[in-house]
Amino acid sequence: MPVNDKFEAALLAKLEKGGLDKGSLRKISASIVGLKNQGLVIDQVYIKGQPGYSRVLINGIIDPEFWKKFEPGNILFQKFEVFPYGIINPEGYRFKGIVESY
């Protein structure tokens, strides 16, 4: 069984069979948010019946060459915001970020 399948079976079993109490569920969700705050993709939500089009329509791949401007490579963003939240023009976007370094 591939690694993914094993992991997924275990994850589902934990979630389905009550292996995680409310406190654990909350902790895991909070950890996900912690990770997301370091990410580059700003989440959006859509109303019922509305496809989440923006990231599909823009093929939101950012030119990796652009990021070379920010040496050294592994920057930990304290805060990162991309505008607009649904980018219609793949060539253009604006972002604001805060980098903390020691």
66 binds another protein (CB under 8 A): yes
Measured between alpha carbons, how far is 35 from 55 in angstroms, rounded to an integer? 20
3 binds another protein (CB under 8 A): no
Largest CA-CA distance found in the chain, in angstroms, rounded? 48
We find the least distance from the C-beta atom of residue 73 to another protein, in angstroms, to be 16
- Using CB under 8 A, pick the residue from 15, 19, 38, 67 that binds another protein: 15
Specify the amino acid at residue 100: E
Q: Find tokens 């070379």 and name the residue.
A: 68
45 binds another protein (CB under 8 A): yes
Measured between alpha carbons, how far is 23 from 6 in angstroms, rounded to an integer? 25
Extract the tokens encoding 72.
């050294």
The residues of the shown chain that bind another protein, judged by CB under 8 A, are: 4, 8, 11-12, 15-16, 22, 25-26, 28-30, 32-33, 36-37, 42-57, 66, 78, 81, 83-89, 91-102
